[in-house]
Amino acid sequence: DYYTTLHHHYHYRHQEVILLDNHIKKTKTKIQAIQNILVQALTKIIIIIIIQRLKKKKYLLFFFLTQPFFFFSQTKKKKNPKKK
């Protein structure tokens, strides 16, 4: 019968589409997972770089955190003589 073969053909195609859709979904999740891993790795690298940079400037950073007003007052003093 023509209609039953057509129906079978459609059903087969439909199954293919479902399989393809599932494959696309899996690929998307894989890509997202890879992106997440890359982002995590990048943030770790950036944090490590920042920590290493700060180790060199640890004293300066500590001083800035404890005495921020000193820094601002110093910059203000530097700007004032130019006005005078």
Report the C-alpha gap between 49 and 56 in whole angstroms.
11
Report the C-alpha gap between 48 and 54 in whole angstroms.
10
Domain ranges, ordered by start, for the chain: 2-79
Write out pLDDT tens, residues 24-81.
Answer: 999 999 999 999 999 999 999 888 888 888 777 766 666 666 665 655 555 554 444 4
Write out pLDDT tens, residues 9-18.
Answer: 888 888 888 8
Tokens of 26: 């899996």
